[in-house]
Chains A and B, each alone.
Chain A
Amino acid sequence: MRVTLWGTRGSVARAGMQTVRYGGDTSVVEVEATDGTRLILDGGSGMMRVTPGLGSFCERIDVLLTHLHMDHIQGLGFFYPLRDPDIQTHIYGPVSTTMGLRDRLSKYLSPPLFPVRLRDLEAVQFHDVGPGSFEIGPFTISADLICHPGPTLGYRIEENGNAMAYLPDHEPALGHREFPADAKWTSGFDLMKDVDLLIHDAQYTEEEYSGRVGWGHSTLKQAVAVASQAGVKTLVTFHHDPEHSDEMLDEQLQKALAEDLSLELVPGRAGSAFEV
C-alpha cells in the first residue's frame, strides 16, 4: 500500500512561510492499495489536496474519521465526491452511545455553520464504528477506541501482510506514573503492535505537555516510547502544533534522532509518501 500525508497539522490549519515544509493543513492521510482501492483517513483541511488526485473515474471512496473534532472534519464539506451522486462515498466514524454518526456530523454540516445540509448529499453512507475489524476491498481494517477526549478511534490497516496504524490524536501516557506502562494497560497498543508504519501524534514538547496533561496529545518522546514498546518499524510524527514552525519541528526531530532508537523516525511532512 502507498500512504500519502496531505494534512499533518493539529488543532487548526496554519498557513504561512513558517509551515511550508511540514505543512499547514489539518489531518488527512490517503492510503492506496495495490489494486487502486483508496481510503482517506480523516477529513481535515488537507482534503482539498486529495481531490485532484481522485480523477473522474472514481466510483467509490471511503473516508475513515478518527473522531469529530473540527480539525478532523472541517475539510469534509469541501470534498467534491460528497456532492457527486455518481460517486458512492462511505464515511466511518466512532460509535457513540447517544447519537449516530450522521446526526453528530450534521451539527457541523448544516446551517448556520455550513450552507449545505448533510441530508442533501444522497450518495453518502455512514458507518458507526466500534472496536473490531472490517474489510474494504483488499484492506483489513481494525479499529479501537483510544485515549483522547470524546470517543476517538485509532485504525490499523493491513494489506498483503503489511500493516500501518494511524493514531493522530492520542495520549497514551495520560495518568501513568511510569511510561511506557504495561502493554495490557496501554491505549492503542494492539493497533500499533509490530506495524511497518505508524503515524502518531507528536504535538507537544516536553515543556508544553506538563501544562496540557489530559488534552489528548503526546510529546515526540512519548510517541517514540510507545512505538518502540509496540515494535513499530517506522514512526511518522504527526498532528504538529500550530504554534510550531518548521525550524522548531526540525530541532525537536534532531534531538530525538540523537537518542539510540530502535525504530526509524521520520518527520511527517505534507506531501510525503511511504510504501508499506
Chain B
Amino acid sequence: MAQQPIEMILLHLWASYIAIPMWVVDVDGNLVYYNEPAEQLLGRRFDEAGEINANELAEIFVTTDLDGEPLAAKEIPLVIALSERLPAHRQLRFRGFDGLWHDIEVAALPIEGQGGRLLGALAAFWEMER
C-alpha cells in the first residue's frame, strides 16, 4: 500500500470538506476516493465500497447519454481528463451501487503535480432535474 503523492493527499482532504459530490481517481484510473455528498448519489458509503479497480468501474457504474444510449469510454469526462490531460464536461446518466439511475452534469480535471507529473483526475457532479 504505497503512500499517495502530497498533491493527491491534499486533494483528498479538500474534497472531504467540499459539499459538491466529488470523485478522485489515481493515475491508473482506480477510484481512490469519493466524498460524502457523492456517497448519497452513488448509493454507498466510501468506507464500505473501498477503492475500486479501474477495470471494475465500468461494470459497476453503467453510463449512458441522456437518451439512454451507451457511452464509449472516450466520451466520459473522467476518462478524457486522465487520458488526454484535458478538462472535460458533459451531461450523462449513470446507475449507482443501489441500482438507481441519475442524470448528472460532470466536470473533470486532470491532476498534474509539480514537475508536470500526471497523478490522477478529479470529477465533480451535479444532479440534474429529471
Residues on the B chain within 8 Å of A94, using CB: 114
Residues on the A chain within 8 Å of B114, using CB: 94-97, 130, 145, 151
Which positions 1-25 of chain B face chain A at CB distance < 8 Å?
1-7, 9-10, 12-14, 16-17
- Distance in angstroms between the alpha carbons of A221 and B5 in the assembled complex: 24
- Distance in angstroms between the alpha carbons of A190 and B5 in the assembled complex: 10
- Distance in angstroms between the alpha carbons of A94 and B113 in the assembled complex: 12
Tell me if B117 is interfacial: C-beta within 8 Å of chain A.
yes
B115–A186 touching, CB < 8 Å: no
B9–A130 touching, CB < 8 Å: no
Residues on the B chain within 8 Å of A145, using CB: 5-7, 113-114
Residues on the A chain within 8 Å of B12, using CB: 185
- Distance in angstroms between the alpha carbons of A146 and B17 in the assembled complex: 20
Per-residue interface assignment for chain A, residues 94 to 132, with 1 indicating a CB less than 8 Å from any chain B CB and 0 otherwise: 111100000000000000000000000000000010110
- Name 13 extra pairs, CB < 8 A, besides A95-B115, A184-B2: A94-B114, A95-B114, A97-B115, A144-B6, A151-B114, A174-B10, A174-B13, A176-B13, A183-B1, A184-B1, A185-B4, A185-B12, A189-B3
Q: When A and B form their complex, which 8 residue pairs have the shortest distance between CB atoms, in order from nearest?
A: A175-B13, A95-B115, A130-B115, A190-B3, A145-B6, A189-B3, A151-B114, A184-B1
Which residues of B come within 8 Å of A, CB atoms?
A: 1-7, 9-10, 12-14, 16-17, 112-117
